Amino acid sequence: MTQLADSAPRAHGPRSEALHRRAMRERIPVIAAIELTHRCNLACVHCYVNLAPNDREAQRRELTTEEFFRIIDEMADAGTLWVTLTGGEPLLRPDFCDIYSYAHKKGLLLSVYTNATLITERHLELWRKQPPRVLEITQYGFTRETYDTVTDVGPQFDRFHRGLARVRDAGLPVTLKAMAMRLTVDEIPAIHEFANAGGMQFRFDAVISPRIDGGRKPLAQRLTPTEVAAIEVDGRDTDSLFASYCADLEKRPRDDRRYQCGAGLTSFTIDPYGKMHVCQLSRRPGWDVLRDGFRQGFDVEFAKLRAETRTDMSGCGTCATAAACTNCTGMAELEGRSLDDGDPYFCNITDARGELAAGAARKTPNGLVKLRLRGEHG
Ligand code: SF4
Ligand code: SF4
């Protein structure tokens, strides 16, 4: 399943921006992801989380419907507004409609991440009555061959297209997503065009993470830094975006906080077993919400994590291109490396972005490319 990092609601308009600013100031947990299960009917080669659909041990440990209701109650009371129901494949749970409906009645704004192969009339009826903010559907290949190679459980391509057609025929809001990786890199433009032609929003992710259980198989699908930057810049206004990041950074003071994002500040993740994490990548220590309470976890324990500072500022802490970099504490944890140092893969992606965006970036006072203080990462 695609990760939360790119799923957080963007601030649209002054009212929404004001809400986001207030949430950051007051530590309000407005954004959540609930992983209903880590099991999935597909077995994508790059997936960071998937377990077999009939994994008995995982099933035994997953929360019951009522336990998810209790967690939703606690989140709503704490001020949560935007919730992504994700997995694994969330529609694999027979009580998906009950959990969705309960959260919807609570007034939460719901997004659903699904591979679209399990959509039934029951789901469509539910979503017509209680519409989601968006259904985010991932297309794992433009061609049948690529799709079925990535998903790795036999022919699924037609099921995917049938599911997608059904939600579109029902008039539901869809964002089509793709993962840019070794197997799909040549097909991303075609998926993008397909989304455009159908009037769907489109986005893709080009950075693959290791599995949360420590498995490194997904990393074999990583693109080279040059490929990541090229596919990101292609057809988008990324050059001026990086330049504005850079200009903004040059005004900032040194910042020794390990977490630079909203993880554990305005957002959090609940896993299928009732553990709360600051995000989908950074899974320490995992707070038992039902046993120990949401507020204690978010207000006290996550505040301690958020207060952590770098012990060494010579790496990412003083990197002048950090804002254009997709390395983060969660990714470093999953890769089992230092939370303070940079990583050559991410440094090289950032440099490649800078090289491609050089025209705009060099207009900023110091330029974007190779501004890091530590030369050895370049
Ligand atoms: S559809 Fe693929 S990427 Fe998504 S959870 Fe299933 S196996 Fe993972
Ligand atoms: S470019 Fe390298 S040093 Fe800079 S933030 Fe990214 S990983 Fe850290």
CATH class of 14-223+259-306: alpha beta
**Which segments in the chain show pLDDT lower than 50?**
3-8, 360-378
> What local confidence, expressed as pLDDT, does residue 248 receive?
59
Q: Whose CA is nearest to atom 3 of ligand 1?
A: 1
Which DSSP symbol is given to 318?
G
**Ligand 1 atom nearest to CA at 150:** 2
> What local confidence, expressed as pLDDT, does residue 358 receive?
59
Nearest to 140 by CA among 263, 7, 44, 26: 44
| Residue 342 CA to ligand 1 centre (angstroms) | 29
**Ligand 1 atom nearest to CA at 115:** 1
Kindly state if the Cβ of 269 falls inside 6 Å of ligand 2: no
Q: Which residues contact 372 (CB under 8 A, 6 or more apart)?
A: 318, 319, 320, 321, 342, 347, 378
Tell me the DSSP string of 269-315: EE-TTSEEESSSS---S-EEHHHH-HHIIIIIIHHHHHT-B-S--SS
109-127 pLDDT per residue, tens: 999 999 999 999 999 999 9
- CA 62 and chain centroid, separation: 21
Under 8 Å between Cβ of 180 and 223: yes
Kindly state if the Cβ of 372 falls inside 6 Å of ligand 2: yes
| Residue 89 CA to ligand 1 centre (angstroms) | 6
CA–CA distance, 259 with 302 (Å, rounded to integer) = 11
> What local confidence, expressed as pLDDT, does residue 73 receive?
98
CA–CA distance, 325 with 135 (Å, rounded to integer) = 28
CA–CA distance, 372 with 240 (Å, rounded to integer) = 20
Q: Which ligand is nearest to the CA of 205?
A: 1
**Ligand 1 atom nearest to CA at 38:** 5
CA–CA distance, 142 with 145 (Å, rounded to integer) = 8
Q: Whose CA is nearest to atom 7 of ligand 2?
A: 342
> What local confidence, expressed as pLDDT, does residue 338 receive?
83
> What local confidence, expressed as pLDDT, does residue 313 receive?
81
What is the H or E stretch that residue 350 is in?
Answer: helix 344-356
Kindly state if the Cβ of 270 falls inside 6 Å of ligand 2: no
Domain ranges of the chain: 14-223+259-306, 322-373
| Residue 208 CA to ligand 2 centre (angstroms) | 17
Tell me the DSSP string of 71-108: HHHHHHHHT--EEEEESS-GGGSTTHHHHHHHHHHTT-
Please give the structure tokens belonging to residue 13: 């308009």
Kindly state if the Cβ of 178 falls inside 6 Å of ligand 2: no
> What local confidence, expressed as pLDDT, does residue 359 receive?
54
**Ligand 2 atom nearest to CA at 374:** 3
Residues in the ligand 1 pocket, defined by CB under 6 Å: 1, 40, 42-44, 47, 50, 87-89, 115
**Ligand 2 atom nearest to CA at 325:** 6
Task: Work out the end-to-end distance of the chain between its first and last CA atoms, rounded to an integer number of angstroms.
Answer: 31
Between β-strands 82-86 and 31-35, what pairing exists: parallel, antiparallel or unpaired? parallel
